[in-house]
Amino acid sequence: MIVKIANAFRLLTPALFIGYAVYANASLFLNDETRLKGTDDLSLMEGGLTREFEEIYKTSLPHRAPAVGLLGAARYLALGVGKKGVIVGDDEWFFTEEEFGPDINSEPLIDRSVAEIAAVRNELGSRNIKLVVVPLPQKSDIYSEHLGSISDTSNAISQYRHFVSRLQSQGIEVVDTRSTMMSAKAEGQVFFKTDTHWTPLGAEKVAAAIEQEMILPADIDSKSFKLFSAEDTSFWGDLVNFVTGSDYGELAGINQEHTRIWRAEEEVADNSAVDLFGSDESFPVVLIGTSYSADTRWSFAEFLKKDLKADVLNLAEKAKGPGAPMYAFLQGEVLRDSPPEVVIWEFPTRYLAQKGIWDTKPQSDGEASVGAKTVDLKLLAKEQSNGHS
């Protein structure tokens, strides 16, 4: 009986594949949206028809998404690897390939970043605003033990140290976060296993390090904030998409990430009230940065409020890199109308090897400016207090 079933399966499988191929191709080329153009519009000698076939198959093949997801899950289960863009370590630790690029220790790229940061420091200094740079080490550096012989992480360590040293040589105030995060590993994870970002524990420890190393201006109004747990949440790490689709993560044996979101609430005496949206729209501290700061799931701005004992306006942005949010701030209404006393600039060092992080720099005087940003401080404060980025 078993032999008969096996033989039937062997005969049926090719028929199923052939049937699906006929169906898929008919769906593609009978559809007005994916039908090939006339061959008179294409140069067969130059491969135009071939390129159009490839593009249609890449973008329009029926069931492409589930097919890719299932193939990725099977590849991960069988070989323990993902697609281009991810490095798979042991025990379900995923790392972005951005941390292993050939330019990771490029002297010219680091020099460019230091020069741009120094220019920002000078611009803010001319307005009596203090700049504090918070470089973040790479996940592959902090958790190199999960990479074994897969990739060498010594470049990530030297890159971080060189970047910090160059900033300090320019008189730029820097908070060393690498030693903080290495020490915090004894208490729990400071990066998520399948995501590029830090955990709330990592963010909390860095916020505490900033408070320890940074001297706030004496005239900042000190406030007391209490942390409370707003909610627990689960999510698929952003690196799972480089292994399989999130719909097939469980099939591949990958676990979702779990975290607790924290909020900071000002503590006041019983006979006083807090006017969150009153006439005073100024914030003594502004936070600029990437999704490490902008994403409310990591609670970084909330930890800063508690440790610095000061209101923090979070102007970090997701998917923009460290340069664009800073240029938007320099061109925006917050700096013009309600300048802070301190600007904290969170800066992941993995961006140093990316050549385009300064492309949004505004043009010189007389040319059109780039990145101007209008911010309603009352509305933004309300959104942040409600947990919206």
Question: What residues are annotated to the active site?
Answer: 195, 197, 291
Using DSSP, state whether 265 is helix, strand or coil: strand
Q: Phi then psi for 209, rounded to 5 degrees?
A: -65, -40
Quote the tokens at residue 34: 């994916």
DSSP string, 101-167: -TTTT-HHHHHHHHHHHHHHHHHHHTTT-EEEEEEE--HHHHTGGGTTTSS--HHHHHHHHHHHHHH
Is 156 in contact with 140 (CB distance < 8 Å)?
A: yes
Contacts of 120 (CB under 8 A, 6+ apart): 131, 326, 330, 345
Using DSSP, state whether 286 is helix, strand or coil: strand
Q: Which stretches within the chain are classed as H helix?
A: 2-29, 48-60, 64-79, 107-125, 139-142, 154-169, 178-184, 200-213, 291-294, 300-308, 323-331, 333-337, 377-385
Using DSSP, state whether 291 is helix, strand or coil: helix
